[in-house]
Structure 1
Amino acid sequence: MEKKRTEAGSTSARGLATRRRLIEATARLCEERPGVEVSVAEIAKAAGVFPNQVTYHFGSKDSLLVHAAFLGLLHDARRIERIGRQAPDAAAFRRNIARAVLAMPSLPSVARALAAGIAKPELAPVVDQHLRLLFRQSERFVGRLADSRGWKADRPLGVEVRTFWSTALGAVLLVRAGAHGTNADLDLAGALTIHDARAATQPE
């Protein structure tokens, strides 16, 4: 019995490792070749696994692409956090975060993932899972930074981060749908209400 449990645990660990390699390899390929379709064979080769492992672990290539897109987004979000910490004040934080988010390499892949979630209902729960993780991570980061700097938002932080990311991702979807315009046409910083509460309360 103990041997069977050990073997099951080993198999589970190998499966998780394979899933991780597939997601990381796909994210890397998508970042290296933005806008270019990658094949199952290319993904499998980059991950060092057999092509049938894609459907075995994810059900479809589209599901794997969604996982990979959001892995890239979370990696980019961590880099964005470093930029946010360097801001000397709340106004600079809003500007710098907005500029950096619109330049994230993962955005095209995430736009495709969102479109896939709309077109294929079976992928919607996967998209929702990753968005919830993104929102939680962002809310935790903004909350800690705001507390340490004496900053405040004009609304609950959960609403703040959802509004910000919805604006950013919505803009990418509009461009993907053929809308004309550039990043200069979007006031993403205006989607943030973070401000320096201490400065606001000082007497004139």
Structure 2
Amino acid sequence: MAPKSVQTDAETPSGDPKHAARATRSAGRQMRSRLLDGASRLFKERGLAGTSISDIAAAADAFPSQITYYFRTKEALFVEAACRDVLYVARAAEQTALQAHTPRDYTRALVETVTATDAVAFFTEALTLTRRRPDLAPLVERTIERLHGEGLRAYTGQIERHGWKSLRDPDASSRRFWALAIGVTVEGHAMGRSTEEMCAEMLRVLGDQATTSTSGDNTRLRLVGDRDAPDSDSPDRERSS
């Protein structure tokens, strides 16, 4: 019987430099994710000034030195956590809105999902912070462009899927949606408005977004903040990004 071959350390997966590099990158991504998770929760509860690096490290079961290794400063971690949160809520809103069959439904799904969380408020704090820390602005800029780009992709997909007709350029609709979301959030928190009030205000300001076809005729659907307003076209409410 031929002797069994013996693998050397260099031939085993654990001895493969590429495998080791992949494992290191994977461990790094997991640690970054844990730090962002812990930081996001604490920053929302206590704010930037009320949260220390040691608090974040303890929440993530990490060392303070790992925070400075991956993010350099607490402020950079704050901005990255806020950017990640708003992208997560944008993705969740798009997934929810996929179930919509009218422009009104689509818009309301987006607005209700976005205003139901504190992600946009968290992101607005990051926007304010970058005024004093311009070195952190590039991450915010990339995040805003992703919000616009992915919103445009989702909205365009819905238009094509259902045969809707957008009342304005789809790119302008996407950019307008997020500009209003940020503006309504800032104003709402300053005025002490509830989540429901901010949702209604955003729906009101968005106005008409698209038309849909009923029995071969293009019927304009109205987007209103008042849920009790009469709607002869559909029992559902119009949504559009």
Equivalent pair of 2:79/2:126 in contact (CA under 8 Å): yes
Report the count of equivalent residues.
202
RMSD of Structure 2 on Structure 1 (CA):
3.1
Q: Which amino acid aligns with 1:120?
A: R
* Structure 1: segments with no counterpart, 5+ residues: none
SS across alignment from 2:118: coil
- The equivalent position to 2:145 in structure 1, one of 132, 139, 142, is 132
| Structure 1 letter corresponding to 2:81 | A
Aligned counterparts of 1:119 and 1:152: Cα–Cα separation in 2: 42
Larger radius of gyration: 2
Which AA in structure 2 matches 1:186? E
**How far, CA to CA, are the matches of 1:30 and 1:200 in structure 2?**
51
User: For the residues of structure 2 that align with 1:138 and 1:188, how far apart are their CA atoms?
Assistant: 17
Deviates more, 1:69-78 or 1:182-191: 182-191
The corresponding residue for 1:105 is 118
After TM superposition, the structure 1 = structure 2 runs for residues 128-167 of structure 1, keeping only pairs within 5 Å, are 128-167=141-180
CA distance in 1, matches of 2:75, 2:89: 21
Which portions of structure 1, spanning 4 or more consecutive aligned residues, are displaced by more than 6 angstroms? none
3-state secondary structure, aligned to 1:67: helix
Q: 1:53 to 1:148 in 2, by over 3 A?
A: same
Inter-partner Cα distance in structure 1 for 2:28 and 2:152: 31
Distance in 1, Cα, partners of 2:150 & 2:218: 35
- How far 1:157 sits from its partner (Å)? 2.1
1:149–1:73 distance in 2 versus 1, CA, 3 Å: same
| Cα pair 1:84 1:93 within 8 Å, conserved | yes
Q: Alpha-carbon deviation of 1:190?
A: 3.8
**CA distance in 1 between partners of 2:178 and 2:109 (Å):** 15
The separation in 1 between residues aligned to 2:212 and 2:218, in whole angstroms, is 12
Counterpart in the other structure of 2:127:
114
Structure 2 contact 57–63 (Cα < 8 Å) conserved:
yes
8 Å Cα contact 1:27/1:71 also seen in 2? no
1:191 aligns with 2:229: no
Question: Which of 85, 99, 108 pairs up with 1:86?
Answer: 99
- Structure 2 alignment gaps of length 5 or more: 1-9, 220-241
Give 1:175 shift. 4.7
CA deviation vs aligned residue, 1:147-203 (integer Å, no higher than 9, x gap): 111122233322211111011112323456x45765277344543653234249717
